Structure 1
Amino acid sequence: MANFTHLIFDLDGTLINSKPGLLNALRFVLKQMGLDHDPDEIIDRLIGPPIQQGMKEVLGFNEKQIEISSRLFREYYGERGMYEGEVYAGLKLLLEELVEQGVKLYVATSKHEVFLSTILRHFELDRYFDDTEGAEGSELQTKAELITNLMDRNRLKSSHAIAMIGDTKFDVVGGKANELTTIAVDYGFGDSAELKQMEPDYFADDVDDLTEILLG
């Protein structure tokens, strides 16, 4: 059992299985733009980084296409997509126990800030978290920058008693950049081999493993 005082969670693929809504949003984008890409083959690579980055790196979009696709994606996601998902089984019990033990909980996500609070309320997760940090504006923000912003606002100093928990390499990189303990979870959307190559401090195959790491 690790003794953590503060825990920072990623959202998509870590707290919530949001793939149905994200996949439907991508289908909407591709249809509106008249593109024939197979959304099922590319969706996992779009989850994790900011949507603009994913559209550029995965789909090869130029700046104009990124602007259009990002707007369409958020249009669908804001109306329907963010409600199309579920909290991973066992996560709420884990969060409740952590709160009871006095651990401070946070969320740092590349999800746009305008959606973040609504999603947490909808899935009844907002009461567990002391503070959250999501992306704002049109500028790309790395996960490391989002974590730094969250830590600065809460006057948290780099410490191995603080852990970043997430399902993609961006979470591990962001945690390491801020000199935090890193915990990779393999039940989300990240590539397992890629996650292990990042050498996180802990690796959880499922929610039970994560519970064992955090609570013993």
Structure 2
Amino acid sequence: MTSSVLTVGFDLDMTLIDSRPGIKACYQALSAETGVHIDSDLVITRLGPPLEDEMVNWFPAERIPDICARYREMYPTHAIAPTPAMRGAVAAVDAVHAAGGRAVVVTAKYEPNAKLHLKHLGIAVDAVIGDLWAEQKAVALREHGAGVYVGDHTGDVRGARAAGAVSVAVATGPCDEGTLRDAGADVVLTDLTEFPDWLAGHR
């Protein structure tokens, strides 16, 4: 779908929300329940890729589907309340709406849990599409006519480029400014507090 309406896609983890405290708490609870050691401090340094990609570091392959299902089941209890919005997140989404545009979240996170985060934090977006990573995100971005995609990971840059969208990267996650630029980001911002001014100039 193409659209003449400004549509901006946003990643979730480490873009709109600082999911580290909640994810750490959920991994700690999973570790306690299963008796399997998980270095939750290490886990939260590499957020972005799908859950399954992380779980293979701690559990044998045959257990991954059940463990991921259990983690997602535990997640609302342990991860929603401790997770704050990133600095500038609400204002960034508000800037899109103020410009007459639509804001959509496209994330690798399990969609029901992504929606819980946004509801808890009062971040009002127009659509949430979960369970998509890197180039897969381009499917949702194209479907919603997104001309801009904002994310913190090189996978987000790849998704934007695959969709033909402007890649706006924020250096608030595991990838630094140089890494994001090398991956092909069109714009790199320190954080989302810089986004409203960028958007005003972009339009």
Q: Do they fold alike, i.e. is TM over 0.5?
A: yes
Counterpart of 1:6 in structure 2 is 7
Conservation of the 8 A alpha-carbon contact between 1:28 and 1:72: no
Specify every segment of 5 or more residues in structure 2 that has no aligned partner in the other structure, as ranges: none
What do the CA deviations read for 1:63-88 (whole angstroms, capped 9, x no partner)?
22312331232132122312221112
- Looking at structure 1, the residues matched to 96 and 37 of structure 2 have their Cα atoms a distance apart, in angstroms, of 45
Partner AA of 2:7 in structure 1:
H
Q: How does 1:142-157 map to 2 (within 5 A)?
A: 142-152=133-143, 154=144, 156=145
- Looking at structure 2, the residues matched to 83 and 174 of structure 1 have their Cα atoms a distance apart, in angstroms, of 29
Specify every segment of 5 or more residues in structure 1 that has no aligned partner in the other structure, as ranges: 136-140
Counterpart of 1:138 in structure 2 is none
TM-score normalised per structure 1: 0.81
Conservation of the 8 A alpha-carbon contact between 1:9 and 1:166: yes
Distance 1:74 1:90, change over 3 A: same
Greater share of residues in strand: 1
Deviates more, 1:163-172 or 1:95-104: 95-104
Partner AA of 2:190 in structure 1:
D
Q: Match for 1:68 among 51, 54, 66?
A: 66
Partner AA of 1:145 in structure 2:
Q
Counterpart of 2:48 in structure 1 is 48
Q: Match for 2:95 among 94, 97, 101?
A: 97
Aligned to 1:35, what secondary structure does the other structure show? coil
Spell out structure 1 runs of 4+ moving beyond 3 A: none
Deviates more, 1:163-172 or 1:69-78: 69-78
**Percentage of identical aligned residues:** 24
Distance 1:168 1:67, change over 3 A: same
Conservation of the 8 A alpha-carbon contact between 2:38 and 2:58: no
Aligned residue pairs, count:
196
Distance 1:75 1:185, change over 3 A: same
Counterpart of 2:180 in structure 1 is 195
Counterpart of 1:134 in structure 2 is 130
Is 1:18 the equivalent of 2:14?
Answer: no
